[in-house]
A and B are shown apart, each in its own frame.
Chain A
Amino acid sequence: KAGVTQTPRYLIKTRGQQVTLSCSPISGHRSVSWYQQTPGQGLQFLFEYFSETQRNKGNFPGRFSGRQFSNSRSEMNVSTLELGDSALYLCASSLLAGEPVYEQYFGPGTRLTVT
């Protein structure tokens, strides 16, 4: 099976712009989560989606949003980019949500640089 794929892998944007990142989960996986990784804050939870519904959101401003499609693919959007949004954005998929026996598998991430 193909792993979790994320596009694009690298992105450079300017402050004030918006950006959309894409995540394709492992085939058959229905749960998708997003995490932000920065040197200062480490790995932080952004959102969790299951069956096209956002079940939970981390402590991030409203500029961060996301969605999940019927094929389980997910996108996240960041509007009005700030320098502090520069980070590695990781997507993870799991067969089902809320079942610890099914671990989360991570994609390679999208490296976003805001200048």
Chain B
Amino acid sequence: AQSVAQPEDQVNVAEGNPLTVKCTYSVSGNPYLFWYVQYPNRGLQFLLKYITGDNLVKGSYGFEAEFNKSQTSFHLKKPSALVSDSALYFCAVRVLSYNTDKLIFGTGTRLQVFP
């Protein structure tokens, strides 16, 4: 079965410091991996995706993620955190078949950036 794990409920980081939000996955077949961010009372905003190709994926708002096949991980990173990055982050795997197209989400990680 396809699944995604986000081992940390919350990550705290000081503004200006690098941040990492962890994600590991379990899939059969090719992994299609996504990161989304959710601000209070808002829907999910797409940040970045890994489909194939370079293991380092760059996305919106200065975020990037590193795909590591051997460790089955897809950690989200940013070199210098901003207070405005404080939000709920979801890692997801996209499950595709001839009659299925759905996202399976991790439980989410709340990122708190302190001034």
Bound CA span A106–B104, Å: 14
Given contacts A90-B43, A106-B36, A106-B44, contact A35 B96 (CB under 8 A): no
Tell whether, in the assembled complex, residue B104 and residue A45 are in contact, meaning their CB atoms are under 8 Å apart: yes
Q: How far is the CB of A5 from chain B (nearest CB, A)?
A: 10
Which residues from 65 to 99 on chain B have a C-beta closer than 8 Å to any C-beta of chain A? 90, 92, 94, 96-99
Instruction: State which of B41, B90, B96 has its C-beta within 8 Å of the C-beta of A100.
Output: B96
Chain B residues near A6 (CB, 8 Å)? 43
Query: Which of A31, A43, A90 has its CB near the most chain B CB atoms (within 10 A)?
Result: A43
Bound CA span A94–B42, Å: 19
Chain B residues near A45 (CB, 8 Å)? 102-104
Q: How far is the CB of B1 from chain A (nearest CB, A)?
A: 12
Interface size of B in residues (CB-CB distance below 8 Å): 27
Question: What are 12 inter-chain pairs, A to B, with CB distance below 8 A?
Answer: A42-B106, A42-B108, A43-B105, A48-B101, A55-B100, A56-B102, A58-B102, A97-B101, A98-B97, A98-B100, A100-B51, A104-B94
Check A64 for interface membership: any CB of B closer than 8 A.
no
Instruction: State which of B45, B90, B101 has its C-beta within 8 Å of the C-beta of A94.
Output: B101
Given contacts A50-B101, A106-B36, A106-B43, 5 further A-B contacts (CB under 8 A): A42-B108, A55-B101, A90-B43, A98-B96, A103-B34
Interface size of A in residues (CB-CB distance below 8 Å): 27
Check B22 for interface membership: any CB of A closer than 8 A.
no
Residues of B with Cβ closer than 8 Å to A? 32, 34, 36, 41-46, 49, 51, 90, 92, 94, 96-108
Bound CA span A43–B44, Å: 11
By DSSP majority rule, is chain A's interface helix, strand, loop, or mixed?
strand
Bound CA span A100–B100, Å: 12
Tell whether, in the assembled complex, residue A104 and residue B96 are in contact, meaning their CB atoms are under 8 Å apart: no
Tell whether, in the assembled complex, residue B51 and residue A101 are in contact, meaning their CB atoms are under 8 Å apart: yes
Tell whether, in the assembled complex, residue B102 and residue A108 are in contact, meaning their CB atoms are under 8 Å apart: no
Given contacts A42-B108, A100-B94, contact A55 B103 (CB under 8 A): no
Tell whether, in the assembled complex, residue A56 and residue B49 are in contact, meaning their CB atoms are under 8 Å apart: no
Mark contacts of A54-87 with chain B using CB atoms, 8 A cut-off: 1 yes-contact digit, 0 otherwise. Answer: 0110100000000000000000000000000000
